[in-house]
Structures are given as structure tokens and as C-alpha cells.
Amino acid sequence: MAARTVEVILRTEIEGLGGKYDIVRVRPGYAWNYLIPKGLAELATEGAKRHLAAHLRQIANKLAQEKAAAEQLAESLRRLHLRLPMLAGKEGKLFGAVTPQQVVNLLAEQGYTLERRQIHFPAPIRTLGSHEVEIRLHREVSVRLPLEVVPAEEET
């Protein structure tokens, strides 16, 4: 017997599920107990789908502008090379790991305002040296930046 599902319209991007305004199928319990009460989605009735189609026509231009702004920001970010001083042991292992907030703070020093949730690491950064950081600016626009983790003593 196949599992029952319901269609919902997402009001915000949910990683692993879909983007804002996507119509997705989820299990009823997930929809009624989590997505809908938290305001993350609404039930995809025929009326809601018609309303969404009209709304998407109205905001198509705005979405294109957001994507263009994200592409422009990505082009600007590609020129950066980040250096992060961290405390480390003799073998080059960090005391802790690099966090997305540290990258956000580095970018803020350069004049860029981003959120922690936009920063992603391919793997946890726990050693000194060169690494790569992915910054997701838009659903279709992301940029990979080089991050040099250096010993904190060098930066005095």
C-alpha cells in the first residue's frame, strides 16, 4: 500500500524539500504538524494554486532581479581570498573547527552582509591550510571561495 501524501505550497526555502513557491508532496503528518503550523507552507488547494500562479506572474520580474543581484554579488565575492587566524596545535590541528559565523564575520570586515545559513563547508575545517567555502547566495547562484586558515600567532 502506497503512503498517502498531500500537496503543499512552500512559503520559504526548505533545504532538501524545495524552494519558495514550490508545490511539493509530503506526508500528511509533516504538513499538518510542522509545515503548516510554523507558516512554512500552505495546503495546495486549487484556489491556492490559481492564486500562486497569478502571484508568480506578478513577482517574476522581482525574482529575476534578485537572481541578477546575487550573480553580481557572486562576481564581487569571487575576487576575495579569505584569511582566518585560528589557534592550532603543533601538528596543525585546530582547537575546534571553523564555523560559518567566523566566515560571516570575515566577510563583514570586507563590507559584505551575509547570513550564517548561506555558508556551507564541503567538509568540516579542522586543520590549518587552504580550504574551500561555498556561499549560497540564491537558489541558482553559489560561489566557492578560498579560505586560508593560518596560525593565530602570525596575525600579531
The answer on 132 and 146 residing in a single domain is: yes
| Residues 51, 65 within the same domain | yes
pLDDT in tens, 85-137: 999 988 889 988 999 999 999 999 999 999 999 999 988 999 999 999 999 99
CA–CA separation, 74 and 141 (whole Å)? 8
Q: Which domain holds residue 52?
A: 6-70
Question: Per residue in 12-55, pLDDT tens?
Answer: 989 889 988 999 999 999 999 999 999 999 999 999 999 999 98
Same domain, 80 and 131: yes
C-alpha 26 chain-centroid distance: 22
CA distance 65 to 82: 28
CATH number, position 89: 3.10.430.100
Q: Is the pLDDT of residue 155 over 80?
A: no
Three-state secondary structure readout of 60-114 = HHHHHHHHHHHHHHHHHHCCCCEEEEECECCCCEECCCCCHHHHHHHHHHCCCCC
* One domain, residues 31 and 100: no
Q: Is residue 1 part of a domain?
A: no
- Residues 97 and 145 occupy one common structural domain: yes
Structural domain count of the chain: 2
User: Residue 156: its pLDDT value, please?
Assistant: 43
